[in-house]
Amino acid sequence: MAESRIIHGFHAVTARIRQNADSVLEMYVDTQRKDPRARDLLKLAESNGVRIIQVDGKRLDGMAGNSRHQGVVARVDAAQKVQHLDDVLDTLTEPALLLVLDGVQDPHNLGACLRSADAFGVHAVIAPKDRAVGINATVEKVACGAAQTVPYITVTNLARTLRELQERDIWVIGMDGEAETNLYDVQHQGAVAWVLGAEGEGLRRLTRETCDQLVRIPMQGSVESLNVSVSTGVCLYEARRQRVVKP
């Protein structure tokens, strides 16, 4: 039997069926859900040959660990398609736009980062295998399908990976609240990897030292810093804006 894991929530389950229906082993739906949203999902699952099991809410609570499952849970194949960074970079037709997350451990933050990465056309998200949350059910739910659309690549040695990116002429920019350079003073229409650190800790020393440049987000109010997922959205928006703005 294939190794499996649980995902939950309408966005996560719908995205998984649309993008990789063969990986959905079973879908469990609350018998009390008779609304249009539930009917649409059932129709989608049936048309893709997904096995549907009607259960009560208590069983779904147990399967989802009492998370907010919205009345739908799916058991999916846990095997991830192996993706290598070179495979992504070698197929690009525009300068690379990468997001590197240095040890983000909160699944809600990772899910939100993936959602922003999808919205702003990031080609891949890179993270260390250790000291990072990885893709789980909460991440998939918060990401609203982005966990299926944005390549998520884990690496053993993050600093070494950053150096490999630099060898490919990809400019590595780290976010640091103490940096002298302002985000909006940086021109980065070329290939770039944005590096953001973990919640509260920021970039690790070796990661920071490996970056080509450190920049900060200018703050106008009394708040000293932003959540890593918010910072990600700000940086990626500015990166994409600069790529589409007319000279």
For the cut 80, the answer to whether the pLDDT of residue 246 exceeds it is no
Cα(152)–Cα(110) distance, rounded to whole angstroms? Answer: 11
Residue at token pair 């660990």 = 65
Please report the pLDDT score of residue 222 as a whole number: 76
DSSP string of 184-239, one letter each residue: GG----SSEEEEEEBTTTBS-HHHHHH-SEEEE----SS-----HHHHHHHHHHHH
Q: Is 89 annotated as a binding residue?
A: no
223, two tokens = 């708040």
Please count the structural domains in the chain.
2
Report CA torsion sign: 86, 176, 205, 138: negative
Q: Are residues 216 and 122 in the same domain?
A: yes
> Which ranges of 21-157 does DSSP label H, i.e. alpha helix?
36-47, 57-63, 85-89, 107-119, 137-143, 146-149
* CATH classification of the domain holding 126: 3.40.1280.10
For the cut 80, the answer to whether the pLDDT of residue 140 exceeds it is yes
* CATH classification of the domain holding 34: 3.30.1330.30
Q: Are residues 55 and 176 in the same domain?
A: no
Look at residues 77, 112, 142 and tell me which one is the last residue of a structural domain: 77
Q: Is 197 annotated as a binding residue?
A: yes
Residue 160 host element (H or E): helix 158-167
Tens of pLDDT, residue by residue over 197-211, are 987 788 999 999 999
For the cut 70, the answer to whether the pLDDT of residue 83 exceeds it is no
Q: Are residues 203 and 114 in the same domain?
A: yes
- Domain housing 124: 85-244
Please report the pLDDT score of residue 20 as a whole number: 81
Cα(122)–Cα(211) distance, rounded to whole angstroms? Answer: 19
Q: Are residues 124 and 143 in the same domain?
A: yes
For the cut 60, the answer to whether the pLDDT of residue 1 exceeds it is no
Please report the pLDDT score of residue 220 as a whole number: 84
Q: Are residues 71 and 95 in the same domain?
A: no
Look at residues 30, 55, 77 and tell me which one is the last residue of a structural domain: 77
- Total-model pTM: 0.74
Q: Are residues 96 and 67 in the same domain?
A: no
For the cut 90, the answer to whether the pLDDT of residue 188 exceeds it is no
Q: Is 217 annotated as a binding residue?
A: yes
Look at residues 29, 57, 77 and tell me which one is the last residue of a structural domain: 77
Q: Are residues 69 and 146 in the same domain?
A: no
Kindly give, in sequence order, each residue whose CB lies less than 8 Å from that of residue 245, ignoring residues fewer than 6 positions away.
Answer: none
167, two tokens = 């060898």
Tens of pLDDT, residue by residue over 217-229, are 998 877 777 899 9
Q: Are residues 157 and 52 in the same domain?
A: no
Q: Are residues 73 and 114 in the same domain?
A: no
For the cut 70, the answer to whether the pLDDT of residue 2 exceeds it is no
Q: Are residues 69 and 89 in the same domain?
A: no
Q: Are residues 114 and 204 in the same domain?
A: yes
Please report the pLDDT score of residue 204 as a whole number: 93
Q: Are residues 43 and 151 in the same domain?
A: no
Helix, strand or coil, per DSSP, at residue 28: strand
